[in-house]
Structure 1
Amino acid sequence: MARFDGKTVIVTGAGSGMGAAAARRFSAEGANVVLVDIEKDGLDRGAKDLPGERTLIKQTDTGKRQQAEEAVQAAVDRFGGVDVLINNAGTLAQGDVTETAEEDWQRVLDVNVTGYFHMAKAAMPHLKQAKGSIVMTSSVSGLGGDWGMVAYNASKGAVSNMVRAMALDHGRDGVRVNAVCPTFTDTGMTQDMKTDETIAAFLQRIPMQRIGQPEDIAAVMAFLASDDAGFVTGVNLPVDGGLSASNGQPAQ
């Protein structure tokens, strides 16, 4: 497919995992891709196999407003505009409210919420001009709670409702705003959690009997960003192998 020929896509968190997979997917479909991440080494790895004439890397801490604005401006300067923003940068902290340090709470909110706000605010004038779209990475943890993940759940709940609010505000501008909501996905962020016991517990709940891969999520991001989803906005779409189809009761 070549759904993004001539279009420019910014991907945050593009140095690894779902962001790197998204950069590859959009590039394969013809897009100019701007890879944004706080880690330069990850950006270099993510960009090395992409066509140089359609690829730009920008080391950025999206939690800082000026850096987010500079990343968007770099995309405009290089490629002439912005058609799609993939707000994907993410981090997590484990622990309940008594165990979570204030600095961990703030770090999770800065990356997962404030960074998304900064990027969307900076990109919106260009997205209005292009009649473009935003796809954010929320989570099944933004649709329901987990044990021992209060900071992450708070951040992803905020993302899910930011998507709804922005879809209402900017639908009249021709800008669509949606989110993917993955379950446990095989990325660098989840490696410390990827034990045999954890995977077995997830497989008890996932009807498709496997955990997610970054490419699974990237494919749905591309759908939501494309004209194929031209009448879809304000949606938090589970990409979870059927996990959320359950009402929570155990298998019989």
Structure 2
Amino acid sequence: MADTPAKVALITGAARGIGLATAHLMAADGWRVALLDRDEDALKEAAAQFDGAALSLLHDVSDPQAAPQAIRECVTHFGRLDALVNNAGVADFGPIEETDFARWRRVMETNLDGVFLMSQAAIPALKETKGAIVNIASISGLRASTLRVAYGTSKSAVIQLTQQQAAELGEYGIRANAVCPGPVRTKLAMAVHTQDIIDAYHDAIPLNRYGSEREIGEVIAFLCSPKASYVTGQIIAADGGFQSTGVGLPALRTL
């Protein structure tokens, strides 16, 4: 009896953070992984961590020509594609009146257009494997916050796009889900979050802490796996309970 080929995942924005953590988790679980990023130096450094087993794809998901080329390179190299993780994103925070159209489009091109383009290009390959799409949205797509007019709107649109994908692609056996991370303890976040911001997040999150990149990756890996074979069209907040508190005041809680 022939061995079943290992499943293949293509992860965008995979040179660091949640994307890289997810790649490591899936590789440890037997997946073959393709790492896509537009930062060449970071991509080389990330790929080196996989001892030559990972495929590096140097592309920018906001480029309409990049998506089909990246999918072709992945399928040519591995022979199949079982999961697409649309993790690439840019964060740009600022007041509405200071967000000019160029700034708005810069966010949308990566956070929304990139998800659409990569997913559309991957559909033929995912039909063959009855594969999965996991889009990384954000808690900012579920609840409004100041200074996030472009970022929050882009992530809210990703949530709607995910549900459109689930509704339309389900007949081909393709599942589509979204993960909405809450505050995550990344190097970037810790570099820009003051102690006051950290304390405020801890107060607002029922679990009283930031999440880790690995914790978000675990949710993504699960949604890509056969263990989630009947899960599609779902929007999962991996946020320590942040979304569940709504406008509840931390000061009113009791321990």
TM-score by length of 2: 0.94
Shift of residue 243, structure 1, vs aligned partner: 1.0
- Give CA deviations for 1:49-77 in whole Å, capped at 9, x if unaligned: 2142x310011011111111111111001
Pair 1:203-2:205 in alignment: no
Q: In percent, how many aligned pairs have the same letter? A: 37
User: What is the aligned length?
Assistant: 248
8 Å contact kept, 1:16–1:188: no
Within 1, Cα distance between the matches of 2:185 and 2:44? 21
Shift of residue 5, structure 1, vs aligned partner: 6.7
Shift of residue 193, structure 1, vs aligned partner: 3.0
Shift of residue 184, structure 1, vs aligned partner: 1.1
Within 2, Cα distance between the matches of 1:247 and 1:210? 17
Shift of residue 191, structure 1, vs aligned partner: 4.2
Correspondence list, 1:58-207, <5 A? 58-207=57-206
Q: Counterpart in 1 of 2:19?
A: 19
Q: Counterpart in 2 of 1:8?
A: 8
Q: Counterpart in 1 of 2:54?
A: 55
Within 2, Cα distance between the matches of 1:75 and 1:62? 14
Within 2, Cα distance between the matches of 1:192 and 1:98? 26
Within 2, Cα distance between the matches of 1:196 and 1:39? 30
Within 2, Cα distance between the matches of 1:203 and 1:110? 32
Within 1, Cα distance between the matches of 2:88 and 2:50? 20
Query: What 5-or-longer segments of structure 1 have no aligned partner?
Result: none
8 Å contact kept, 2:143–2:243: no
Q: Counterpart in 2 of 1:227?
A: 226
Q: State the 4+ residue runs in structure 1 displaced beyond 3 angstroms.
A: none
Cα distance change on mapping 1:134 and 1:245 into 2, 3 Å: same
TM-score by length of 1: 0.95
Which secondary structure state, in structure 1, belongs to the residue aligned with residue 97 of structure 2?
Answer: coil
Shift of residue 206, structure 1, vs aligned partner: 0.8
Within 2, Cα distance between the matches of 1:231 and 1:21? 25
Query: What 5-or-longer segments of structure 2 have no aligned partner?
Result: none
Which secondary structure state, in structure 2, belongs to the residue aligned with residue 35 of structure 1?
Answer: strand
Q: What's the Cα RMSD here? A: 1.4
Which secondary structure state, in structure 2, belongs to the residue aligned with residue 34 of structure 1?
Answer: strand
- Give CA deviations for 1:65-93 in whole Å, capped at 9, x if unaligned: 11111111110010001100000001111
Shift of residue 247, structure 1, vs aligned partner: 3.1
- Give CA deviations for 1:91-133 in whole Å, capped at 9, x if unaligned: 1111232111222111100010001111001111100110000
Within 2, Cα distance between the matches of 1:187 and 1:114? 25
Within 1, Cα distance between the matches of 2:89 and 2:191? 15
